[in-house]
Amino acid sequence: MHIIPIALFFIPGLLLWTPKFSVTIGLLTVIYALFYCFKYKSKLNINKDDFLVFAIFGSYLITNIPITLADENNFRYIDAPSRILLFFPVYLMFKNELPKLSIRTPFEYGIIVGAIGAFFISIYQYYILEMPRVEGFLFSINFGYLACSLAFLNLSFIKGSSRKGLLICGFLCASIATTLTLTRGAIIAIPVLFTLLTWIYRKEINGRLCILGVVFFIFISGVIYSLSSGVQNRVGYTILEFSSIAAGDVSVSVSSGGRLQLWLASIKAFQQSPFIGLTHSEREALNLSLYNNGTVTEWVTAVSRGHAHNQYFEMLASNGILSFITIIMLFGVTTYLLFRNLDSIYSVSGVIFMSGIAIFGLTEVLLHANIINIYFGFFLAFFLASSLYGTKDCKGFIMLKASTS
């Protein structure tokens, strides 16, 4: 049996209800891809699109090299970016093999199993173990992001699928799991991504169906809110936080207010070193200085490495203007490549996937988390390869372009 269908089933399928088994599958896929690329190097036929994809995968690593050297070769800066780059050989393998394979069935079953698994572990932890926030085998915030991402992988693959009922079930299961983590950055993403997917299919979805979907979503949200005291408390706490921020008292708002202060500190770090950013120790010293002059509260000084709790502000503080290269390549260019072929279900799902990651990055430095950057690297490779080169049952952009030229 080919490794690609296996990986496409097990990486999403084991994502949230096993102790990081999907990471093992992801790394085994990387090792296999490296051997594959070495064995078939003469058949890879790397072209200009592939060089652009390499730039996407390598941008995060390259922009972290200057700060790594500045911090006496502290490899912590390039640890996560290097894991993403490891999936470029996986992209090359996908490029060659996906056009020969029908992979929709194993992939859909993988995301369905992963979503249902996330649902059961969330129900078990929240209602039986009475944990305040669902976390699976991760931090609750990371579980929330991944569950939300799984939810919209399910929803985005409904079109043309023979498993519509199961995919809708997967979407609902993963959405409930997301909600029970009480991760606001993931919960807020649900209506945003739903709106984006509706806009992409605006010519195919009638107004009545759209309204029905919105009403159903509001109904489910109301049911979850009424059945969960944790969700009710989280909503109340959020209202209190934003009221405190609006009144100018960020000290009461530990979570949201704390993030705002960390973002301000990141901007100050960028102002001090706009070209390559500040090292972690320099950012900690800066935060202490900002506290001493009354710019931020004492809470900020306890945050190790000046961690920004925002992917973009973290890049800005640690990479300076170089961070814009990563943001443009990783999110802008990737989305552009996917948008060129929205007739492909893989391109549409890829756009939703990338949009989700981009939204999650507003409230956490999620690409530094081990399981998330493995998940991200794998699906970045998959969606780019399937969008550009297609699969056995869905033509890619390059093939469509060649047939019309």
What are the extents of the domains in the chain? 3-205+324-404
- What is the model's pLDDT at position 241? 73
390: helix, strand or coil:
strand
Distance (Å, whole) CA 298 – CA 220: 40
11: helix, strand or coil:
helix
**Residue 147 pLDDT more than 60?**
yes
* 16 close to 146: Cβ distance less than 8 angstroms: yes
pTM: predicted TM-score of the whole model, two decimal places: 0.94
Instruction: Determine the angle formed by the axes of helices 3-13 and 88-97, rounding to 10 degrees.
Output: 130
Scanning 228-279, the segments in alpha helix (DSSP H) are 229-246, 256-272
Distance (Å, whole) CA 295 – CA 278: 19
Select the more confidently predicted residue: 114 or 222: 114
Q: Which residues contact 18 (CB under 8 A, 6 or more apart)?
A: 117, 137
- pLDDT tens, residue by residue, 219-264: 777 777 777 777 778 777 777 777 777 766 676 666 777 888 999 9
**Residue 209 pLDDT more than 70?**
no
Containing H/E element for 92?
helix 88-97
210's tokens: 């759209």
pLDDT confidence bin for 389, thresholds 50/70/90: very high
Q: Which of 309, 275, 312 is nearest to 287 (CA)?
A: 309
Distance (Å, whole) CA 273 – CA 169: 49
120, 169, 193, 202, 262 from 199: Cα distances, Å: 31, 22, 10, 5, 34
26's tokens: 């992801």
395: helix, strand or coil:
strand
